[in-house]
Structure 1
Amino acid sequence: MPPELNAVKRDVSLDLEASAGRLGKVAAGQVSGKLDVTAKAVFEKYPDLSKLLILQTLASTYCSALNTSGMDGRERAARWEQFMSRYLELRAAPEKVIVTPPVQRPASTTPRRATAVPPATPPALSSKPTFVASPQPVAASSREQRYAAYETLLAQSQTESALSALRGLAEEGYPRAQFDLGKRYLKGELGLEQSYRSAFDLFSKAAKSGYPPAQHNLAVMYQDGLSTSQDEALAMVWYAEAARGGFAPSRELLEKLGKRW
């Protein structure tokens, strides 16, 4: 189950799990269409939850339901193939944008007296902040520069300072640093004690930010059951995410398995 699901209310978690569980009763050829209906209903019911979290929860719960259904392997595989085919299409679709229509004020029934129209004046600049469509390039450049400084410290064998810089960037949510620090924990480098748990947590954060190398490594950890329950279904989900992000090792692996992404 996706770790972020722990942060939502229990009744929401149970509702998502129940929605996925009901898919297990559908015939193999109808799974794809039923997933559309189920996902749409959940998206509309919980518009504040991320689409990726909802789809991952549906995938994880549906996989568990199939494994405990008592069906033979061929039937489970057919249902899972239908589910994953549609899952990947839904995952690639853009997030639905909800536009709130402007409030329509009722027309006044009281006649207005004519008033003199004042001379036109330039509109005042609003001091209210506005949203931007993407992060400001200065912030991204600053992180890249700090990451380059970390690499310089590492090349100069200033391990303690390098690790401190890397941790700072990872804690700020910089995916590249989270991935790098995860690798260090995975191998026990830079004086860190090897920790699959720490590596898994860091890869998860970077993967959910859309960083393909971290998505690939997270898939490997699910596939091998490192610091998590072994889950081939979620492994395939994250390999597909990395492949769509252009990560060659994930694409090559899925091609060898005959899987689409």
Structure 2
Amino acid sequence: MRLFFLFLLILTLVSCSQYENPKSFFDKGNYKKAFSLWLPLANDGDSFAQNYIGIQYYLGLGIDRNLGLAKKWFEKASIGGSADAQHNLGLMYENGDYLEQDLIVASMWFYVASQNGSTNAKKRIQRLLNDDKIFPNQYNHAKELAKQYLSVEN
């Protein structure tokens, strides 16, 4: 019986060590491998993986650049609660990447991301306000839109 449990323990350890972490491949610049590992996770609803699929499409890392698909994956991850994806979607609206520039919608996504813990999103909001790209009343409108989104999300 001990031999059986020892065998199970060894099998479990070997199985765990064979897990391939897509983030480690991404960080090492092996974007194709990272993409191939992240895609099934993203399709299963993993918002972290969805955000990274969006990043890879947005920047063309290991795949052809496709801003439409980047937006799609950022949206999926945003709905899943990823603050990073919400920030990234806000950047797409701020810059007018693939879609019409809309600083109020960008601010809305930045506000949602900041409510989910993104310090980068808070900085983007401050920059937009400090540079007079949006005015306080516009930001208040964006916050109201964000609060509506957050109340539907929860």
The TM-score with structure 1 as length reference comes to: 0.39
Q: 1:170-209, aligned counterparts within 5 Å?
A: 170-190=42-62, 192-209=63-80
Q: 1:215-234, aligned counterparts within 5 Å?
A: 215-234=86-105
Q: 1:99-118, aligned counterparts within 5 Å?
A: none
- 1:158: Cα distance to partner? 5.8
Report the equivalent of 1:211: 82
Report the equivalent of 2:146: none
Distance in 1 of aligned mates of 2:96 and 2:28: 36
- 1:178: Cα distance to partner? 0.7
Report the equivalent of 1:149: 21
Q: Deviation digits for residues 31-63 of structure 1, max 9, x if unmatched? A: xxxxxxxxxxxxxxxxxxxxxxxxxxxxxxxxx
Question: For the pair shown, which has the larger CA radius of gyration, 1 or 2?
Answer: 1
The reply to whether residue 165 of structure 1 matches residue 40 of structure 2 is no
Question: Where do 5+ consecutive residues of structure 2 fail to align?
Answer: 1-18, 130-135, 144-154
Q: Deviation digits for residues 201-249 of structure 1, max 9, x if unmatched? A: 1111111111111111101111222122222221111011011112111
Give the number of aligned pairs: 115
* C-alpha RMSD of matched pairs (Å): 2.5
Distance in 2 of aligned mates of 1:157 and 1:244: 31
* 1:245 equivalent among 116, 126, 129: 116
Higher relative contact order (CA 8 A, sep 6+): 2
Secondary structure of 2:56's aligned partner = helix
- 1:253: Cα distance to partner? 2.4
Q: 1:14-93, aligned counterparts within 5 Å?
A: none
- 1:157: Cα distance to partner? 6.7
Contact 2:35 2:56 in 1 (8 A): no
**Which structure: greater helix fraction?**
2
The TM-score with structure 2 as length reference comes to: 0.64
